[in-house]
Structure 1
Amino acid sequence: MKILTAILILILALYTVTRKKPLEAIFGRTILSMVAVLLYAISAAPDVALAEALLGVVLSTFVYITLFRRMGKIRIGVVPVHSLFEKLGNTYRGLEYELVSTYARQNGYEIEITEYADQKELISSFVEGQVDMICGAVTRKMCPDHTDCYEILQTKFAILPDRRTVDLLTFKEYILKQSIRETVVFSQEIDEYVISIEKKTDLSLKFKDFYEAAKNSGKLELLRKKYVGD
């Protein structure tokens, strides 16, 4: 019985350390502690079994779940824009939204979305640490130096009658809302819409692997065609 229990502990330990999703690892750790309680009990060590039950099963599981609820969330700052991160009622759609929501779902994260009126306010919030990731109408040249930028789509710029320069998807929203009626000049400058994350963070390292897999598998290109076209 002791040998079988010890083997089960080894299997559970291997299961726990190989989990990619935090909740699965917490589940494995809790079951491992419960089996350890059984091992101590059949080994005539009731005091150790009681300590493991209280500390290993109850207390540590509570601490892990509490920390996970705080850390298992991605705070996304966004300037909503057509086709990339577009709000529809109480939900969102778009190339970037589908990409980040798929990443979050695969890694067991929740997402918390905060909308900003313009890029200046968004970047300021990101620099102050109020959000973990920024996207929407965000181009590479806007991103702070300490960030990793993941290219989503190229864009040119429209020069509005009031001399403001806006990216093409923002310009498309202006057209749809019929807020521009005058002739508009288009710049030859080219930039990229990006998803931006602070460098050398766990989130950035994990998202990089996800992004490269989506890019190499052709999924990113399929999303571009789905939301933007050829």
Structure 2
Amino acid sequence: MTVPFPPVEPPPGEWAMGRLRPTEDEDLVAAGADLSPGTLLAAYRVGLFPMGLGDHGARPIGWWSPEPRGVLVPANFRESRSLRKARSRFEVRVDTAFPDVMRLCGDPERVGRWITDEIVTAYTEMHRLGWAHSVETWLDGRLVGGLYGIAVGGLFAGESMFHLERDASKVALAALVDLVRADGDERRIIDVQWSTGHLERLGVVEWPRRRYLEALAVALEAPDLRFC
């Protein structure tokens, strides 16, 4: 699939995502709505992302704004010597296997899985319109790692990653950082939703929601990221 650039602006969704406001101490902002391209795009532009509230991500759809928010400023990415060495093992591709990356991220064997068939369908449509992207690591012609997310202006909102070989997902993240910082625009940020110890070692920090939303507003003024 050839991913269009610039992305195709979808018709507005019927839900007023921009009017949703998080409480001071809850990550969950609302439940319901749909996963149409217009709804999804409006949500990311105001700092929300979807994750189902039912078993393994089933409906109803929850709309989330974590407090605090996990953020990677590209210039602060920490690339260890071992990661630099690991890069040479893999071939990195972009947007060549988007649905496969999503399905592997949503493997039913994964603990805490939340990526449903409905999510795959919705984000594949966002990919077709040029908003969703995958960064993939390949080894001997086999897809062994990767990540996917939504790119809007200077924001890359990471949704999930997977690996079948050691370091494969970290190499994909390093490649994403290269893409995001390629033009030197310091307004760009990578949203990882919730931080973990693993991500903190790579340079991810936790920002208060207010700081994230302020940085998001600035990031959205940057030109759209080019993945092609």
For this structure pair, what is the TM-score category when the shorter chain's length is used for normalisation?
A: under 0.3
- Name the TM-score, length of structure 1 as normaliser: 0.21
Higher relative contact order (CA 8 A, sep 6+): 2
From the two aligned structures, give the one with the greater helix fraction. 1
